[in-house]
Every structure is written in C-alpha cells, then in structure tokens.
A and B are shown apart, each in its own frame.
Chain A
Amino acid sequence: MLKKGDILIIASVLLLSAVSSAFIFTGKNTGKAVTVQENNSTVYSGSLFENKTIELEGNTVVIENGSVFISNADCKNQICVNHMPITAGGESIICLPNQVLVEIE
C-alpha cells in the first residue's frame, strides 16, 4: 500500500524529529529559573525550587518542589491544565487563549 514517495515523506519527517530532538536535548542546561509571561511581558521570574502560586488574570501557575504546572484556567479547552508538570530546562507550558507562557530556563 505504501509507495516510494510515501517512504521518502516518512523518512524526512523522521529525520526532522531526530534532528530537532538532537538540537533540543543536547547541551540542555539544568533549568533552575521559572519565567511566566503574559501578553508578551514577563510577569514573574524566580527559582524553580521556591514553592509559589502565581495568580494571573485567567490562570493559576503553581511552582512546587521543582516542577511547574498550571492548576487553573478560565478557558474552555483546558489544554494547559492537562499538560504534564514541567521540570527541565527548555520545557514550557502555553495557554493560547490567555497568551500565557510558562518556561523553565
């Protein structure tokens, strides 16, 4: 059922994910700082290991024992709330409707 062109497409998508993961996961620094952006401006920046709850306009960001998650969001889709807690540098959680970006650096 698969044709020659299909194999080429599959190979290039695999290559894309391999190359991009090589870029992202090598030389990854151990993230220690958390920044929270809302509407393109930084509203919070602090340590990953300082437990804290940050109330934003529509979201609640929780920093707890070295992991960060969004516990509450006022939007319908709840994508950011369902997102797994993030723990490592470079990881992020995004809430599109409220334009919130939580990132570990």
Chain B
Amino acid sequence: MAKKITVYALMAACAMIFGYIESFFSLSFIAPGIKLGLANSVVLLLLCRSDLKGALAVNTVRILLSALLFSTPFTLLFSFTAGICSTLVMRLFSGLKSVSPIGFSIAGAAVHNLVQLSVAALLFGRAVWYYLPFLSLSALISGGAVGAAALLIFKKLKTNAYF
C-alpha cells in the first residue's frame, strides 16, 4: 500500500512537471486551450495497466494542485470536468482489445476538448463552438503523439517494476 501511494505521488508529480514544462511553449495562439497534453501520458500509463482508480486519483491530484499553483479556481471548472470525463472515456476504450493506447489517447483528448468547449458554451454562449474543428484536429495530432509516447514507455517498463 505504502509503495503504491508513493508511486502514485511520483506519477502525479511527474504529470505536474509535464504540464508546467508545456506551459512554456503555448500553442494557444491557434485556438485557446490547444496543447500537447504531455501530462496525460501518466494517466495513459496507468490505464495501460487497467488501473482506473489510480488514473482518477493521479489526475485529480494533478488538476487540483496545478490549479492552485499555476492558474485560477475559475479555470479549474474546465480542467476538472474535462479531466474526469476524458479519464473515464479512456478507460472505456482501453478495455477493448482492438484499441491501442494511441486510440484511447486520441479518444480521451477529443472528449477532453469537447467537454471544455461544452463548459465554455454554457458560460459564454454558442460562439465558442467555432473552435471545434481546430480543437478536434489538435486532439487527433497531440492525442496520437502522447499515446505513442505512453505506449513506448509502457513497453520499456515491462512487468511489475513499479508495483
């Protein structure tokens, strides 16, 4: 148990650092919110092991702490809803034999962007749907890239080295 908590904490810390590094090269001049989503690789890694509880825990800790440190409580509304929804959807797809981490990473990224847009639409009105084509294309590219990275890491980590 203690080992598990330590590994989760390490992973949450890793995810936060990924998110922090990412904030230095912002892609949001294309459309607000476009980013690589490197932090998601940690969640993907846990889902590769079918560890939904761990994935949700690590993602929640990452989102809450990142919001406290780097952003405002208002943006938490976006990151938290999207984070939880995308984790659940990724788990749904990761349970299927015909879907690789690349596939469920893309699905998760697309759902993440869809949920954020929905929240934004509730707050700002329909105008924000203008960004849907850009955000879904970016989900394809960045989700695919991060999924491929997670798959490589998962293969290298092999067996139960961490648990």
Q: What's the Cα separation between A82 and B106 when bound, in Å?
A: 26
Q: What's the Cα separation between A94 and B120 when bound, in Å?
A: 9
Q: A101 contacts which chain B residues (CB < 8 A)?
A: 124-125, 127
Residues of B in contact (CB 8 Å), total: 42
Of A9, A76, A77, A91, most B-chain CB atoms within 10 Å: A9
A84 on interface, CB distance cutoff 8 Å: yes
Task: Decide: B130 and A91 in contact? CB cutoff 8 A.
Answer: yes
Task: Decide: B99 and A96 in contact? CB cutoff 8 A.
Answer: no
Q: A29 contacts which chain B residues (CB < 8 A)?
A: none
Residues of A in contact (CB 8 Å), total: 39
Q: Which of A5, A10, A94, A97 is in CB contact (< 8 Å) with B93?
A: A5
Task: Decide: B133 and A20 in contact? CB cutoff 8 A.
Answer: yes
Q: Which of B33, B74, B99 is in CB contact (< 8 Å) with A6?
A: B99
Q: B140 contacts which chain A residues (CB < 8 A)?
A: 10, 13-14, 17
Task: Decide: B98 and A24 in contact? CB cutoff 8 A.
Answer: no
Q: B127 contacts which chain A residues (CB < 8 A)?
A: 90, 92, 101, 103
Counting from the closest, the 3 A-B pairs by CB-CB distance are A6-B103, A5-B99, A5-B98
